[in-house]
């Protein structure tokens, strides 16, 4: 009896290790967004560089990515090279949503690091980001040609984002 009981800790332990292991391969920051399956919120704003008006309708037509970023955000600098990499593939358009930033430092940031964005929506007040349900920068939304959000990623993206999220959706 006691011998059997003393094997119990090992069993419990193995179960826990299994769960920990399976947890490692999953992304805890994957927060289901109520916006998934819905059209992107409407907005009218100015672009970062030239200050021209940009509206949500201007984005539609092809599937695209909206990347929420700011020059103040550490995670954004981590993912920046991947964004540039994605934009150089020319398979999908990337729009930037410059979140709670000031214009000159945002422009300077893009000039020094390279600009992966087709156009950058300037959202210094953060109002548009609120409509998108943004938790914090960086966040990345994948939107199809009808303007329906099909995926949301919280935190910096990496290589797997292109391979596992964008590519499968492009093939559809």
Q: Judged by CB under 8 A, which stretch of 2-10, 91-99, 108-116, 139-147 contacts another protein?
A: 2-10
The DSSP secondary-structure symbol of 59 reads G
Beta carbons of 99 and 71 less than 8 angstroms apart = no
22 counts as binding another protein under rule CB under 8 A: yes
**Could you tell me if 66 and 138 are in contact, meaning their C-beta atoms sit under 8 angstroms apart?**
no
Name the minimum Å distance from CB 110 to another protein. Answer: 17
28 or 37: CB nearest another protein = 28
Please state, in angstroms and rounded to a whole number, the distance separating the CA atoms of residues 92 and 62.
8
1 forms part of the interface with another protein (CB under 8 A): no
- Alpha helices by DSSP H, the chain: 2-5, 8-24, 74-89, 103-113, 127-131, 159-161, 167-171
Quote the CA–CA distance of 115 and 109 in Å, as a whole number.
9
Is residue 17 a contact residue for another protein (CB under 8 A)? yes
Q: Within positions 122 to 161, which residues make up the interface with another protein, using CB under 8 A?
A: 155
21 is an interface residue for another protein by CB under 8 A: yes
Q: How far is the CB of 163 from another protein (least distance, A)?
A: 16
Q: Is 19 in the site for another protein (CB under 8 A)?
A: yes
Q: 62 phi and psi, to 5 degrees?
A: -120, 165
Q: If binding is defined by CB under 8 A, does position 114 make contact with another protein?
A: no
Q: Of the candidates 7, 34, 37, 172, which one interacts with another protein according to CB under 8 A?
A: 7
Q: Find the shortest distance in angstroms from Cβ 90 to another protein.
A: 30
Q: What distance lies between CA 18 and its chain's CA centroid?
A: 29
- Of residues 103, 134, 135, 133, the one with CA closest to residue 121: 103
Here the tokens at position 98 are 């410059």
Q: Which residues bind another protein (CB under 8 A)?
A: 2-3, 6-7, 9-10, 13-14, 16-26, 28-30, 32, 70, 72, 74, 100, 155
């Amino acid at each position: 009896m006691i011998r059997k009981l003393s094997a119990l800790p090992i069993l419990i332990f193995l179960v826990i290790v299994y769960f920990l292991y399976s947890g490692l391969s999953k992304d805890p920051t994957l927060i289901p967004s109520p916006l998934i399956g819905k059209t992107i919120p409407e907005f009218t704003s100015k672009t970062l560089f030239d200050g021209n008006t940009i509206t949500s309708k201007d984005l539609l037509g092809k599937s695209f990515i909206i990347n929420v970023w700011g020059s103040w955000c550490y995670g954004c600098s981590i993912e920046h090279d991947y964004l540039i990499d994605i934009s150089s593939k020319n398979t999908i358009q990337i729009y930037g949503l410059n979140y709670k930033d000031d214009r000159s430092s945002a422009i300077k940031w893009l000039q020094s690091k390279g600009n992966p964005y087709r156009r950058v929506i300037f959202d210094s007040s953060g109002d548009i980001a609120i409509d998108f349900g943004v938790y914090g920068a960086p966040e990345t939304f994948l939107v199809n040609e009808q303007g329906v959000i099909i995926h949301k990623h919280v935190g910096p993206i990496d290589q797997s984002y292109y391979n596992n999220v964008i590519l499968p959706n492009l093939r559809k």
